[in-house]
A and B are shown apart, each in its own frame.
Chain A
Amino acid sequence: MSSFSYFPHTEEDIQQMLDRIGVSSLEDLYCDVPQEYIFKGEFDLPEALSEQEIREYFESLAAKNTKLKVFVGQGAYDHYVPAVIPAITSRSEFLTAYTPYQCEISQGTLRYIFEWQSLICKLTGLDCSNASMYDGATAAAEAVRMCVASTRKRNTVVVSARLLPNVIEVIQTYAKYSGVNIVVSEDVVEDIAEGTLDLAGVIVPSINRYGIIENHTGLADLVHNLGGIMVMYCDPSALTVVKSPAEWGADVAVGDGQSLGIPLCYGGPYVGFMACRSEYMRKLPGRIVGQTKDAEGKRSYVLTLQAREQHIRREKATSNICSNQSLMALWCTVYLSLMGPEGMKRVNTLCYERSHYLYNELLATGKFEAVYEGEFIKEFVLKPLCDVAKLQQALLDGGYFAALQTEEGYVTFCATEKHSVQEIDRLVKIIKEL
C-alpha cells in the first residue's frame, strides 16, 4: 500500500475494512459524488519529501532571509523569551488538545485560560476577560462591535488617529461591512465634546503609535456623560507600570499579548486580549472560562456564558469567533508567571533606559530632531534631517532593522531589554558615519 508514515493502513487492513463496509474499493466510497468532480489528474505538487529532505529544504529557505537586529516596534516588540515557555507550550497535552469542550479531561487548558483571564484583569484593572482573540487589531475591531451592541441606537465609534495604523485599518475593515460609522480623530475630546455624534464609544491608545504614554484625564467622564463606552488599546507589558485602563476610567481594554514574550515570527501567531467592566460581561465575544465545582465539591473549570456564542446563538451571537489563540494565551500566562511583579518592573526599566539612551545618542548625531515631548518607555519617533532611504539602507547593510518611516515622514525606533548598550553604540556609529 502506502509507505507513508502518517497513514497506518496496510493492504490487508483496507481490504478487511472494505469487506466489513460491503464495498469493493476505496473509490466506491465516493459513489455519491458526481463522477465529473472526482479529480483524475495529477496534483501539481512536489513529490513527497522525507523528513531529512524537509529539514534541508527549510534550511535553504531560512538562508534566504536576512538576519537582522530589530530596533522597530509598531505593535510587534522584540522582548526576551525565557527558556521555560517553549518547554511548557510544546507539551503535547496542551499543544494537541482541542477547545476544552469535554471539561473533565481538559482541566489543564481550562485552568490556564482561567489564569490568563485573571492576569488580564490584573493588568487592566477591569472585572472580566475572555479566553483570547486572534490579535490586538481584531480585538479592537470586536470592541467596536461591543460598543454598538451595548448602546441603544448609536452607531458611531470615534477612533484616535494615534492608534497603530494597522489597528485602525482592521477596525475600518470590520466596520465597513457591519455598517458602523468610524470617525478617525486627531483630537478625540474635541470631536466628541459637541455631542452631535450618535456616539457608541471611543477607542484611544494607552501608549500611542509614536510611543508616547497618553494622558487621558477627564476623557472617561466626558464619554460616559455622552452615553458612550470608553475602550483603551494597550501594550500589556507596559501596563505593569503605566496607568491602567481602569485607572483612566475605561470600560473595555484590548490589545495584543505579543509583548509578553511571544517571538516576532513575522507577525503571528500572537494573541489578542479583551477585558471589560462586569456590566458588559455578557457582551464579550468568544470563549470564557468560569470556576465551579463537580458533584464531589472539587474545584473545576468549564466554558461558561455560552449563550453568547455562535454554536448556540448562531446569527444572534455577540461574535463569530470560534477558534482563538489559546496556546499563545498559555505562552503569555507562563511569561507573566515567570516575570512576576519584579521581573515586569525590570523589563520596563531596562526598556526605558535603553530606549532613552538610544534616543539621546541619536539626537547627538545631529541627524535627527525631537518631535514629541511626552514620556515614552521603549518606542519613539524622530524627525530625520538626513536622507531616509540612505539611512535605512546603511542600517540594513550593518545588520539592523531600524528607522521605519511613518506616514508623517518621521522615523521610529524601539529598544528593549534585549538591546545592550554596546549594540546600541554599534547602531549609532553606523548613523554617525553616514
Chain B
Amino acid sequence: MKYYDKLIFELSKPGRTAFSLPKAQGTLPKSGNIWRETPTELPEVSELDVVRHYTNLSQMNFGVDSGFYPLGSCTMKYNPKINEEIAALPAFAALHPLQPETTVEGVKEVYDQLDKTLAAITGMKKFTFLPCAGAHGELTGLMLIREYHMSRGDHARTKVIVPDSAHGTNPASAAVCGLNIVVVKSQENGLVDVESLKPLLGPDVAGIMLTNPNTLGLFEKDIKQIAELVHECGGLLYYDGANMNPLLGVVRPGDMGFDVMHLNLHKTFSTPHGGGGPGVGPVGVGERLVPFVDKCKVSGFNGNFGVMLKAYTYILSLGKENIKLAGKLSTLNANYIKECLKDCYKLPIDTVCKHEFVFDGLLEDNGVTTLDVAKRLLDYGYHAPTIYFPLLFHQAIMIEPTETESKETLDGFIEVMRTIAQEAKTDPEMLHSAPHNTPVGRPDETTAARQPILKYTQQ
C-alpha cells in the first residue's frame, strides 16, 4: 500500500468538468426567496482525476479480497463475485419501490424465496426484510416483542435482560426501543449464570437478548433452561444473529426456543460489508410473533433489496448439500487457530469454541499490549482481529477465521502470530510503534477527538 495524500477538493480547478449530460435550453428562475444564495463549492475536476483519485484511495484499503481478515464477530467470509453480478441486473436495479405489485413479480419471488429459505435455515416462521443492518434488526425485533406484550394488555413489561458479554448494540437497541436494561453476569466459564438470571425474572420482563454462541465464541449450554425460565415468567427470547455462522447448517435458533431473531446477511450470507454497509438485518419470528411481523415500518421503502439479491444468490450456491458444512468448517478453523496458538497467547477459557474465540493478550507480554499485536499484524499483511471486545478481559483479542479460509492461510497467520510473540520478547519497542509498513502510522486519536476536524476547509 502506498500513501496518497489528496482530497478530491484539492484537485479542483475552476472550469474543469467530469459530467456528460444533454444540453439544457434555459436557466432556473431566480425570484421568490426560495433559491440558493451561496454557491455549493463542489470539486471541479476531470473524469480521469476522479477515477485516479478513488483508485489511489482504494489502494490504501484492505478488504477480504486483499487478504485474511480474522475480525471477530464480523464474519469476514469471501464475498462471491456472482452475487454482485446478479444484484446489478438492470431488470432489478431499474425498478421503482412504489411500482404496482403486478409489475414486479420477479421481485416478489425473491422476497418469498428468501423468506422461505431463511425460515428453513433458522427454524423461524416468517421474516421481515425492512431492517438495513444488525442493530436495525435488533430494534425491530424488540418492537415486535413490545407489540406482542401490548396486544395482551401486558403493559408492565419494560425490562430487557442483556448479558454483560453482549454486543454494545443490544443495550443500545433496547434503549432506543424505550426498554430498561438489566445486565446479567457471566460465570467464570464465560456462560450466562442461570442462578443470577433467576432473581431478575418477573412480570416486568419483556424478554432476554442472547447471542449464542456468545461473544466469547462459547455455546450457551444452558439455553434450554434459560428459555424455559424466561418463557415461564412471560418473557420472550431474542436471538442476536451476529454469531449465527457456526450454527449455519447445524443448529436452528427456532429449535432452541427463540421467539425472534435477526440475521446479518452481510455476515452469515456472504454479502460484502462495503466499508461499513449496506447490510440487511432481516428479522425472523416464531409462531407467537407472526401476527406482528409486518407491523413496524422501520425503513423508507422495501429494505436493502439489492443486498437481498446477493444473499439469495449465495443460498442458491450453497444449496441443501453444502450448507451442512458451512458452520462446521468455520468452527473447525477457529478451534485449529486456538489450539495452535494457546501456548503463546493467554486463553482464559480453554474449551471447545464455535466460530470465534478470545485470547487475553500474550502469555509473556513483556509490556506488549493487544493493540501492539494487532498493529504488528498489519505489517505482515493481515487484518487485525477485533480487539478489546468483549469487555470481560482487559486484553481481549477476538479471532474469527470463517469457513472460506484454507489451512494454508491459517498456518500462515499462526506462524506470524508466533513470530509476533517472539518479537514481544526480543524487541518490544518495535511493537509499541507498529505498524511500520502501512501508508500511515498510528494516528493521534486524542487530538482528533479533542479538536475535531470533520470536514474539508480550503486553506
The answer to the question of A109 belonging to the interface, with a C-beta cut-off of 8 Å to chain B, is: yes
- Chain B, residues 241-282, CB within 8 Å of chain A (1/0): the string is 000000001111001100000001010001011111111000
Nearest-Cβ distance from residue A310 to partner chain B, whole angstroms: 4
Verify A104–B40 contact, CB threshold 8 A.
no
Task: Report the separation of the CA atoms of residues A32 and B279 in the bound assembly, to the nearest whole angstrom.
Answer: 31
Q: Known: A33-B219, A37-B251, A107-B440. Contact between A268 and B299, CB under 8 A?
A: yes
The answer to the question of B307 belonging to the interface, with a C-beta cut-off of 8 Å to chain A, is: yes
Verify B54–A18 contact, CB threshold 8 A.
no
Contacts of B358 in A (CB 8 A): none
Q: What are 25 A-to-B residue pairs whose CB atoms are below 8 Å?
A: A29-B335, A37-B255, A39-B250, A39-B255, A42-B320, A58-B89, A58-B313, A65-B104, A102-B383, A103-B443, A109-B275, A170-B300, A177-B177, A240-B40, A263-B94, A264-B96, A268-B307, A302-B448, A305-B449, A321-B135, A323-B132, A323-B266, A325-B274, A330-B54, A341-B39
- Chain A, residues 306-340, CB within 8 Å of chain B (1/0): the string is 11011111111101111111111010011011111
Task: Report the separation of the CA atoms of residues A336 and B456 in the bound assembly, to the nearest whole angstrom.
Answer: 15
Task: Report the separation of the CA atoms of residues A244 and B74 in the bound assembly, to the nearest whole angstrom.
Answer: 38
- Of B21, B105, B138, the most chain A CB neighbours within 10 A belong to B21
B: contact size bracket:
35 or more
Interface residues of B in 90-133 (CB under 8 A from A): 91-100, 102-107, 109-110, 116-117, 120-121, 123, 132-133
Q: Known: A97-B62, A122-B40, A287-B276. Contact between A4 and B322, CB under 8 A?
A: yes
* Those 8 A-B pairs whose CB atoms lie nearest each other, nearest first: A48-B319, A267-B301, A327-B274, A267-B97, A343-B19, A62-B91, A108-B61, A96-B63
Verify A166–B316 contact, CB threshold 8 A.
no
Verify B297–A169 contact, CB threshold 8 A.
yes
Question: Which of B96, B102, B328, B440 interacts with A103 by CB under 8 Å?
Answer: B440
Task: Report the separation of the CA atoms of residues A300 and B181 in the bound assembly, to the nearest whole angstrom.
Answer: 38
- Nearest-CB residue, chain A, relative to B321: A48
Verify A353–B25 contact, CB threshold 8 A.
yes
Verify A63–B106 contact, CB threshold 8 A.
yes
Interface residues of B in 63-98 (CB under 8 A from A): 63-66, 69, 71, 74, 76-80, 82, 84-86, 88-89, 91-98
The answer to the question of A380 belonging to the interface, with a C-beta cut-off of 8 Å to chain B, is: no
Verify B307–A72 contact, CB threshold 8 A.
no
Q: Known: A97-B273, A288-B454, A292-B445. Contact between A338 and B175, CB under 8 A?
A: no
Verify A21–B452 contact, CB threshold 8 A.
no
Task: Report the separation of the CA atoms of residues A68 and B95 in the bound assembly, to the nearest whole angstrom.
Answer: 8
Verify A9–B406 contact, CB threshold 8 A.
yes
Task: Report the separation of the CA atoms of residues A267 and B308 in the bound assembly, to the nearest whole angstrom.
Answer: 12
Q: Known: A7-B322, A293-B444, A343-B19. Contact between A268 and B305, CB under 8 A?
A: yes
Question: Which of A42, A127, A179, A311 interacts with B389 by CB under 8 Å?
Answer: A311
Interface residues of A in 57-81 (CB under 8 A from B): 57-59, 61-68, 70, 72, 74-76, 78, 80
Verify A105–B306 contact, CB threshold 8 A.
no
The answer to the question of B384 belonging to the interface, with a C-beta cut-off of 8 Å to chain A, is: yes
Q: Known: A7-B322, A76-B301, A115-B8. Contact between A213 and B34, CB under 8 A?
A: yes
Task: Report the separation of the CA atoms of residues A342 and B441 in the bound assembly, to the nearest whole angstrom.
Answer: 38
Nearest-Cβ distance from residue B425 to partner chain A, whole angstroms: 24
Task: Report the separation of the CA atoms of residues A7 and B71 in the bound assembly, to the nearest whole angstrom.
Answer: 19
- Nearest-CB residue, chain A, relative to B45: A337
| Stretch in A85-93, A182-190, A361-369 with 4+ CB within 8 Å of B | A85-93
Verify A334–B277 contact, CB threshold 8 A.
no
- Chain B, residues 166-186, CB within 8 Å of chain A (1/0): the string is 011101111111100100000
Verify B438–A338 contact, CB threshold 8 A.
no
Nearest-Cβ distance from residue B47 to partner chain A, whole angstroms: 6
Verify B51–A84 contact, CB threshold 8 A.
yes
Contacts of A70 in B (CB 8 A): 94, 96, 99
| Stretch in A135-143, A154-162, A196-204, A220-228 with 4+ CB within 8 Å of B | A135-143
Contacts of B53 in A (CB 8 A): 337
Verify A123–B62 contact, CB threshold 8 A.
no
Verify A106–B61 contact, CB threshold 8 A.
yes
Contacts of B223 in A (CB 8 A): 34, 37
Verify A337–B138 contact, CB threshold 8 A.
no
